[in-house]
Amino acid sequence: MAAFSAHRKSCVLAVAFTALCLHVPARAQSGDWTIFNTQNSALTANWILCIAEDSSGNIWMGTGGGGVCHYGASAMEVFDSTNSPLPNNDIRMIFIDRHDNKWIATKRGLAVYRAGGVLLSVPDTAASIPESFELFQNYPNPFTTGTSFTFSLPDAAIVRLEIHDALGRLLDVPIAAQEYAAGRHSVKWNAGALPSGVYVYRIKVTPLNGSVKTASRTNTGWSHAKQAVLLR
* pLDDT per residue as tens digits for the range 46-85: 999 999 998 888 899 999 999 999 887 767 889 999 999 9
- Spatial separation of the C-alpha atoms in residues 90 and 53, rounded to whole Å: 19
What pLDDT does 123 receive?
55
Q: What is the pLDDT of residues 164-195, one digit of tens each?
A: 999 999 999 999 988 998 888 999 999 999 99
- Spatial separation of the C-alpha atoms in residues 188 and 140, rounded to whole Å: 11
Q: Where are the domains of the chain?
A: 2-113, 125-230
What pLDDT does 200 receive?
96
Q: What is the pLDDT of residues 126-140, one digit of tens each?
A: 557 778 888 999 999
125-230 is a CATH 3.40.50.300 domain: no
* DSSP 8-state secondary structure symbol assigned to residue 58: -
Confirm whether pTM is higher than 0.75: no
C-beta separation of 149 from 161 below 8 A: yes
* DSSP 8-state secondary structure symbol assigned to residue 137: P
Model confidence band, residue 210 (pLDDT cutoffs 50, 70, 90): low
What pLDDT does 215 receive?
45
- Spatial separation of the C-alpha atoms in residues 28 and 21, rounded to whole Å: 11
Percent of the chain with pLDDT over 70: 76
